[in-house]
Amino acid sequence: MRTITFDDTKQQATVQFGQTLGPLALVLGQRGYALPHGTCSGVGISGHSLGGGWGFTSRKWGWLLDHVVSVEFVDITGSIRTLGPMSTGEDAELWWALRGAGSNNFGIVTSFTYALEVAPPTVVNYGMRFATNKDCVHVLLALQELGGLDANDDPNGFPPELGGQLIIMGRRVNDASVCQFTGQYLGSKYNYTTVIDRLLAKLSSRGVKPLEPEESYIREFHTWNLALTDLMGPLEASSVPLPYYAQSLLDNGRPNYTFDEADSIINALQTAIGIEGTSSHMSFDLNGPGSRTNLDPATGDMSFIHRRSLFLTQVYSVQFPGFENVTARAVALDKIRAVIDTMKQTSPDSDWHAYQNYIDPYLISFGRAYYGFNLDRLKLLKRALDPHTVLDFPQGLAHA
């Protein structure tokens, strides 16, 4: 079930639930449309849409979830419902709940109708790398300062056309760089340069500059699909399964990391990099007050709560030890947890949350972390619609 149909009059597309991001992006781009989404072609649209869906264009366009204007839904009795902003009664409650907590909790969403964006005529893909962990501390602090400004009110802030993430790889043997600020700018290379100079000037005042030119790039595209292919690789590529583990945090919009705190976070990651046989990284996805991700959606109230953060942060490890390797897995988990714990210790009383699309099977109190103050309302609806827990998984609402 991967069919994509268009309503050009409404600028909408209806997509069946078996579709994945790459092929969807390809078809949309060929028709002159786009959506905000992640950069892994093989990720399914269903979980991505129901749990958020962040990408480099999200600061301009919002979460993928914000573009869902209706769904076709099959409940546990087999009844088919069409849900949207005009739904009433129990259907209205389902429409609210699915957008944030809809993955395998209440039924199955079999298709999504999305409000589409017009594909930008010009886009810049960029990346700048930095040489040392200390440099990366300064980059994080500069992004914190500039990203915390609303460009609508302060000309020094980042406009929403600039999307980016700081990826920290840490120091490895023979590596020229230890972190990279990378992303997309919706506009021309000239305008991108004007915006990114704000970051470069801030870093220069701290004695930091990116590696040039072999480790950094600026590429301008005049075709949306070419820009996406440059970013994502072949859009029709199939997924390659990899053992993978991740933990996530969303701050309250003002993490206010000091130099010493940011340094301690990166040092904790440096320790995690030493997990034998794995590749561990950390990403700080930029949102902030000027970001569409932090504004209320046009499709009405929903159970998704993550609309305050400056950074959506993920610590992830590829080729993670399997369940059969108990000792190695326990050691690796402790090192990954230490990174997240170090972050939380910078503001122990803060209202930290976790991102349900970066599911963490070891997360304590996952329900509050994913759904916050909406958890009790979600559990009440779960009991009403699925009293015998026909739909269940370890982090389903029945266990929250």
- CATH code of residue 245: 3.40.462.20
The predicted pLDDT at position 239 comes to 78
DSSP string, 319-370: SPPPTT-HHHHHHHHHHHHHHHHHHHHTSTTS--B--TTS--TT-TTHHHHH
User: Does a structural domain hold residue 243?
Assistant: yes
* In a shared domain, residues 256 and 326: yes
CATH number of the CATH domain containing 27: 3.30.465.10
Q: What are the pLDDT tens digits along the chain (400 aa)?
A: 999 999 999 999 999 999 999 999 999 999 999 999 999 999 999 999 999 999 999 999 999 999 999 999 999 999 999 999 999 999 999 999 999 999 999 999 999 999 999 999 999 999 999 999 999 999 999 999 999 999 889 999 999 999 999 999 987 766 789 999 999 999 999 999 999 999 999 999 999 999 987 779 999 999 999 999 999 999 998 877 888 899 999 999 999 999 999 999 999 999 888 777 678 899 999 999 989 999 999 999 999 999 999 999 999 988 888 888 888 889 889 999 999 999 999 999 999 999 999 999 999 999 999 999 999 999 999 999 999 999 999 999 999 9
At 22 the three-state DSSP class reads: helix
Contacts of 4 (CB under 8 A, 6+ apart): 13, 14, 15, 16, 19, 24, 27
Residue type, 276: E
Contact between 109 and 140 under an 8 Å Cβ cutoff? The reply is: no
Residues 78, 140, single domain; the answer is no
Is 363 inside a domain boundary? no
Residue 286 lies in a domain: yes
In single-letter form, the type of residue at position 373 comes to F
Residue 264 lies in a domain: yes
d(CA 340, CA 119): 37
Same domain, 245 and 215: yes
Secondary structure letter of residue 2 according to DSSP: -
Q: Which residue has the tokens 């779960």?
A: 382
On whether residue 397 sits in a domain, the answer given is no
- As a whole number of Å, the CA-based R_g of the chain is 21
* One domain, residues 48 and 194: no
Give the type of residue at 44: G
Are 329 and 246 found together in one domain?
Answer: yes
In a domain, 364, yes or no: no
192 in the same domain as 219:
yes
Question: Which residues lie closer than 8 Å to 364 by C-beta, 6 or more apart?
Answer: none
> Of 79, 95, 118, which residue constitutes the final position of a domain?
118
The reply to whether 100 and 143 lie within a common domain is no
CA atoms of 233 and 227, how far apart (whole Å): 10
Is 177 within 8 Å of 127 (Cβ atoms)? no
Whether the ω angle into residue 213 lies within 30 degrees of 0, i.e. cis, is: yes
Q: Which of 324, 338, 234 is nearest to 280 (CA)?
A: 338
C-beta separation of 106 from 94 below 8 A: yes
DSSP structure class, residue 20: B
Domain end position, chosen among 300, 328, 345:
345
Which amino acid, one-letter code, is at 6?
Answer: F
| Same domain membership, residue 49 and residue 33 | yes
- Same domain, yes or no: 224 and 315: yes
- On whether both 72 and 188 belong to a single domain, the answer is no
Between CA 355 and CA 89 the distance in angstroms is 28
What distance in Å separates the CA atoms of residue 353 and residue 52, rounded to the nearest whole number?
A: 14
Given the DSSP bridges, would you call strands 279-286 and 217-221 parallel, antiparallel or unpaired?
Answer: unpaired
**Cβ pair 199, 146 in contact under 8 A:** yes
Last residue of a domain, one of 118, 152, 168: 118
- 70: which 2 tokens? 């209706």
Give the phi and the psi of residue 281 in degrees, each rounded to 5: -140, 175
Separation between Cα atoms, residue 364 and residue 257, nearest integer Å:
24
DSSP labels, 261-309: HHHHHHHHHHHHHTSTT-EEEEEEEE--TT-GGGS--TT---S----S-
Within a domain: 140 = yes
Counting the structural domains of the chain, the total is 2
Distance CA 142, CA 202 (A): 6
- Coil, strand, or helix at residue 319? coil
Looking up tokens 């949306």 gives: 224
Query: 324 is in which domain, residue-wise?
Result: 123-345
| Sole residue written with tokens 């989404």 | 37
Looking at the fold, whether 114 and 130 belong to one and the same domain comes out as: no
- 360 within some domain: no
- For 128, the 3-state DSSP assignment is strand
Whether 210 and 312 share a structural domain: yes
Extended beta strands in the chain, E state: 4-7, 12-16, 33-34, 68-75, 80-83, 107-115, 117-118, 123-130, 162-168, 179-185, 217-221, 244-250, 279-286, 311-318
Task: Answer for the pair 243, 324: CB distance below 8 angstroms, yes or no.
Answer: no
d(CA 16, CA 11): 17
Measured torsion, CA atoms of residues 110, 113, 114, 118, in degrees rounded to the nearest 10: 120
